[in-house]
């Protein structure tokens, strides 16, 4: 949510909101489509649907997707926490040059690691609710600040009302990442008693409210800061801001840290089921395997978080991958409804992969200059082009 104002600034207000609405409709529809596929294919998870439609041998692709998505989200949380700790330290203690890498590793060792080693995460549902309330408080503050600076905000919105360029790709990808919740759809469908009508009703309500919150926040943030909007809109507020701003930073840090294990555990479980050696080790020596796998994954996300301070870059990549997965859902539905041949299905799959590849390249090539881009070898966009090609 915090990088949506930058996405709106890059895509411009009117096309950006139209793109966000289109993404919301596509995401909500595919969320309901997953429940339909669960009913049609008698599946209870994302993996079950994939295995039933494309064969159990290919279900490793789902596990890889969940692992990659989970690790990227965890990295995103750590980058956001590092941003906010830097600003909070400057505001509260006057420490203006605190190392980002130091923040990432101290936070990982002292807070995130103990939470990720918990065997039972049920207690975190209370902290998740508390964190959600704190984030809503940040939302309310930004919106109230928008109305408090109405003249400046409206002039910024008018100045960036309409232009069409490659920035719209960033808007689409970041929006897809923001609306992504599809791995939870089969579980929600099961908890609602496999009632497709009730699942659809709740999906419509949830996505409508989410679109309202996201669009209002994006407009408010972009209106407040205009062309100076950063990848994390909270970084636009000065370190010497009001106590409400500092409280918002601290609340967001709290929310990110206690949401991290919920995403991390699903990625860890998928990694174990994807790699037979890890699965055997987890059966023979569960405690040692649990500690080793958890620490290794945490080291990976922490190292990655030290390499960038632009959350819009990470969110854009997440969105590009997520859109590809939505395309594959539609592909599965086509196979079911039309009962087409395997040859035609493979052709459709290749087309969807090419579309996802194109979107990923377009998004990443439009991102801001990352800290690791080589300055002496052409433009950073060319560098990012080949990086994204390797990733996709």
pLDDT digits (tens, 9 = 90+) for 210-230: 999 999 999 999 998 888 887
Report yes or no on 382 lying in a domain. no
Band of pLDDT at residue 96, cut at 50, 70 and 90: confident
Band of pLDDT at residue 333, cut at 50, 70 and 90: low
Quote the number of domains for the chain: 1
pLDDT, the chain, mean: 76
* pLDDT (0 to 100) of residue 317: 64
* pLDDT (0 to 100) of residue 342: 47
Q: How far is CA 81 from CA 7, 41, 265, 276, 305, in A?
A: 20, 41, 19, 34, 10
pLDDT digits (tens, 9 = 90+) for 21-36: 988 888 888 788 888 8
The separation between CA 342 and the C-alpha centre of its own chain, rounded to angstroms, equals 33
Report yes or no on 182 lying in a domain. yes
Look up residue 372 and give its two tokens. Answer: 């690791």
* pLDDT (0 to 100) of residue 377: 38
pLDDT at 364 over 90: no
pLDDT at 66 over 60: yes
Report yes or no on 388 lying in a domain. no
pLDDT at 241 over 70: no
More confident residue, 290 or 310: 290
pTM above 0.75, yes or no: no
- Classify residue 28 by burial, with Cβ atoms within 10 Å: 0-12, 13-18, 19+: buried
Q: Where are the alpha helices (DSSP H) in the chain?
A: 4-11, 13-41, 46-54, 60-93, 100-107, 113-116, 124-148, 150-159, 167-179, 185-191, 196-225, 243-274, 276-284, 286-305, 311-338, 342-365, 380-391
Report yes or no on 375 lying in a domain. no
Report yes or no on 391 lying in a domain. no
Q: Which domain covers residue 149, as residue numbers?
A: 3-360
Report yes or no on 38 lying in a domain. yes
Report yes or no on 378 lying in a domain. no
Report yes or no on 76 lying in a domain. yes
Residue-wise burial string across 42-58, b where 16 or more C-beta atoms lie within 10 A, e elsewhere: ebebbbbbbbbbbeeee
3-class secondary structure, 160? coil
pLDDT at 324 over 60: no
pLDDT at 188 over 70: yes
Band of pLDDT at residue 368, cut at 50, 70 and 90: very low
* pLDDT (0 to 100) of residue 374: 40
Arithmetic mean of pLDDT, 322-340: 53
Give the list of residues 6+ apart from residue 113 with CB closer than 8 angstroms, or none: 294, 295, 298
More confident residue, 125 or 38: 38
pLDDT at 57 over 80: no
181: closest CA among 328, 46, 317? 46
């Amino acid at each position: 949510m915090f990088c949506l104002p930058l996405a709106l600034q890059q895509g411009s207000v009117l096309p950006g909101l139209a793109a966000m609405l289109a993404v919301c409709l596509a995401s909500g529809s595919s969320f309901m489509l997953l429940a339909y596929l669960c009913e049609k294919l008698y599946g209870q998870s994302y993996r079950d649907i994939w295995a039933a439609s494309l064969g159990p041998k290919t279900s490793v692709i789902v596990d890889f997707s969940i692992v990659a998505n989970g690790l990227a989200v965890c990295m995103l949380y750590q980058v956001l926490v590092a941003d906010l700790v830097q600003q909070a330290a400057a505001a509260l203690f006057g420490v203006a040059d605190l190392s980002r890498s130091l923040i990432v590793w101290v936070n990982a060792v002292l807070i995130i690691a103990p939470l990720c080693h918990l065997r039972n995460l049920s207690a975190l549902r209370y902290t998740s609710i508390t964190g959600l309330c704190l984030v809503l408080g940040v939302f309310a503050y930004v919106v109230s600040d928008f109305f408090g600076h109405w003249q400046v905000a409206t002039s910024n919105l008018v100045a960036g009302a309409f232009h069409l360029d490659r920035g719209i790709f960033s808007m689409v990808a970041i929006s897809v990442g923001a609306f992504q919740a599809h791995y939870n759809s089969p579980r929600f469908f099961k908890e609602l008693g496999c009632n497709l009508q009730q699942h659809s009703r709740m999906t419509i309500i949830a996505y409508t409210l989410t679109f309202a919150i996201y669009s209002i926040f994006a407009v408010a943030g972009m209106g407040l800061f205009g062309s100076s909007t950063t990848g994390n809109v909270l970084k636009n507020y000065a370190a010497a801001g009001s106590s409400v701003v500092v409280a918002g930073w601290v609340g967001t840090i709290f929310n990110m840290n206690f949401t991290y294990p919920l995403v991390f555990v699903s990625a860890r479980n998928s990694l174990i089921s994807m790699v037979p050696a890890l699965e055997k080790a987890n059966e023979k020596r569960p405690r040692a395997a649990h500690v080793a796998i958890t620490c290794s994954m945490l080291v990976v996300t922490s190292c990655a978080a030290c390499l960038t301070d632009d959350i819009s870059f990470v969110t854009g990549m997440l969105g590009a991958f997520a859109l590809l997965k939505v395309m594959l859902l539609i592909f599965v539905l086509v196979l079911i409804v039309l009962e087409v041949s395997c040859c035609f299905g493979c052709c459709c799959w290749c087309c969807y992969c090419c579309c996802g590849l194109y979107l990923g390249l377009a998004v990443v090539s439009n991102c801001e200059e990352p800290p690791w881009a080589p300055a002496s070898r052409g433009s950073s966009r060319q560098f990012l082009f080949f990086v994204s090609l390797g990733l996709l």
